[in-house]
Amino acid sequence: MCGIVGAVALGSDITPILVEGLQRLEYRGYDSCGIALHMDGALRRTRSTSRVADLKALVSRDALAGSTGIAHTRWATHGAPATHNAHPHFSGRPGGQPRIALVHNGIIENHEALREELRGAGYVFESQTDTEVIAHLLDHLYNDDLFDALQRAVRRLQGAYAIAAFCRDEPHRVVGARNGSPLVVGTSESANYLASDALALAGTTDQILYLEDGDVVDLQVGRVWVVDSEGRAADRPVHTVPAFTAAAELGPYRHYMQKEIFEQPRAVADTLQDLDTISPELFGDAAYKVFQETQRVLILACGTSYYAGMTAKYWIEALAGLPTAVEIASEYRYRTSVPDPSTLVVTISQSGETADTLAALKHARRQGMENTLTICNVASSAMVRECKLGFITRAGVEIGVASTKAFTTQLTALFLLALTLAQSRGKLDDAAEAEHLKALRHLPSAIQATLALEPHIIGWADTFARRENALFLGRGMHYPIALEGALKLKEISYIHAEGYPAGELKHGPLALVTEQMPVVTVAPNDTLLEKLKSNLQEVRARGGQLYVFSDTATRIANEPGVHVIQMPGDYGMLSPIVHVVPLQLLAYHTACARGTDVDKPRNLAKSVTVE
Ligand code: F6R
* Cα 181 to averaged position of ligand 1 atoms, centre (Å): 16
Cα distance between residue 167 and residue 145, in whole Å: 9
Q: Which of 28, 305, 386, 405 to mutate for ligand 1's pocket (most ligand atoms within 8 Å of CB)?
A: 305
Q: Is the CB of 349 under 6 A from ligand 1?
A: yes
Q: Are residues 181 and 109 in the same domain?
A: yes
**φ, ψ dihedrals at 520, nearest 5°:** -90, 135
Instruction: Assess if residue 504 is contained within a domain.
Output: yes
Single out the residue in 416, 448, 480 at which a domain terminates: 448
Which CATH number covers residue 279?
Answer: 3.40.50.10490
Q: Are residues 227 and 270 in the same domain?
A: no
Question: Residue of the nearest CA to atom 3 in ligand 1?
Answer: 303
Q: Which atom of ligand 1 is nearest to the CA of 304?
A: 10
* Cα 163 to averaged position of ligand 1 atoms, centre (Å): 24
Instruction: Assess if residue 68 is contained within a domain.
Output: yes
Q: Are residues 93 and 227 in the same domain?
A: yes
Q: What is the distance, to the nearest Å, from the Cα of residue 185 to the centroid of all Cα atoms in its chain?
A: 21
In sequence order, the 6+-apart residues with CB closer than 8 A to the CB of 570 are 524, 525, 551, 552, 553
Written as one letter, the residue type at 354 is: T
Instruction: Assess if residue 40 is contained within a domain.
Output: yes
Q: Is the CB of 404 under 6 A from ligand 1?
A: no
- Supply the pLDDT for residue 423: 97
Q: Are residues 190 and 292 in the same domain?
A: no
- Supply the pLDDT for residue 345: 98
Q: Are residues 478 and 441 in the same domain?
A: no
Please name which of 439, 448, 405 lies closest in space to residue 588, comparing C-alpha atoms. Answer: 405
Q: Is the CB of 393 under 6 A from ligand 1?
A: no
- Supply the pLDDT for residue 139: 97
* Cα 486 to averaged position of ligand 1 atoms, centre (Å): 14
* Cα 390 to averaged position of ligand 1 atoms, centre (Å): 18
Residues 498-546: pLDDT tens digits?
999 988 988 998 899 998 999 999 998 887 778 888 888 888 888 889 9
Give the total number of structural domains in the chain: 3
Q: Is the CB of 357 under 6 A from ligand 1?
A: yes
Q: Are residues 275 and 184 in the same domain?
A: no
In sequence order, the 6+-apart residues with CB closer than 8 A to the CB of 70 are 4, 5, 6, 7, 18, 35, 36, 88, 101, 102, 103, 164, 165, 166, 174, 194
Q: Are residues 514 and 568 in the same domain?
A: yes
Q: Are residues 378 and 518 in the same domain?
A: no
Instruction: Assess if residue 245 is contained within a domain.
Output: no
Instruction: Assess if residue 538 is contained within a domain.
Output: yes
Q: What does the DSSP assignment read for 532-568?
A: HHHHHHHHHTTTPEEEEEE-TTT----BTTEEEEE-S
Single out the residue in 448, 464, 497 at which a domain terminates: 448
Active site residue 600: no
Q: Is the CB of 106 under 6 A from ligand 1?
A: no
Q: Are residues 383 and 327 in the same domain?
A: yes
Residues 469-509: pLDDT tens digits?
999 999 999 999 999 999 999 999 999 999 999 889 889 98
Question: Residue of the nearest CA to atom 7 in ligand 1?
Answer: 402
Q: Is the CB of 305 under 6 A from ligand 1?
A: yes
Instruction: Assess if residue 102 is contained within a domain.
Output: yes
Q: Are residues 388 and 421 in the same domain?
A: yes
Q: Are residues 114 and 20 in the same domain?
A: yes
- Supply the pLDDT for residue 585: 98
Q: What is the DSSP letter of 598?
A: T
Q: Which atom of ligand 1 is nearest to the CA of 488?
A: 7
* Cα 603 to averaged position of ligand 1 atoms, centre (Å): 14
Q: Is the CB of 304 under 6 A from ligand 1?
A: yes
Single out the residue in 189, 213, 240 at which a domain terminates: 240
Please name which of 155, 333, 176 lies closest in space to residue 231, comparing C-alpha atoms. Answer: 155
Q: Which atom of ligand 1 is nearest to the CA of 402?
A: 7
Active site residue 2: yes
Cα distance between residue 601 and residue 261, in whole Å: 17
Q: Is the CB of 302 under 6 A from ligand 1?
A: yes
Instruction: Assess if residue 269 is contained within a domain.
Output: yes
- Kindly state the helix (H) or strand (E) to which residue 54 belongs, with its residue range: helix 52-61
Q: What does the DSSP assignment read for 233-298?
A: B----EEE----HHHH--TT-SSHHHHHHHTHHHHHHHHHTT--S--GGGG-TTHHHHHHH-SEEE
Q: Are residues 513 and 441 in the same domain?
A: no
Which CATH number covers residue 95?
Answer: 3.60.20.10
Exactly one of 2, 33, 167, 592 is catalytic; name it: 2
Q: Is the CB of 382 under 6 A from ligand 1?
A: no
* Segments forming the whole domain that contains residue 532: 452-611
* Three-state SS at 101: strand
Q: Which of 255, 302, 387, 405 to mutate for ligand 1's pocket (most ligand atoms within 8 Å of CB)?
A: 302
- Supply the pLDDT for residue 240: 87
Which residues of the chain register pLDDT less than 70?
Answer: 1, 242-248
Instruction: Assess if residue 476 is contained within a domain.
Output: yes
* Cα 7 to averaged position of ligand 1 atoms, centre (Å): 30
* Cα 407 to averaged position of ligand 1 atoms, centre (Å): 9
Q: Which atom of ligand 1 is nearest to the CA of 401?
A: 8
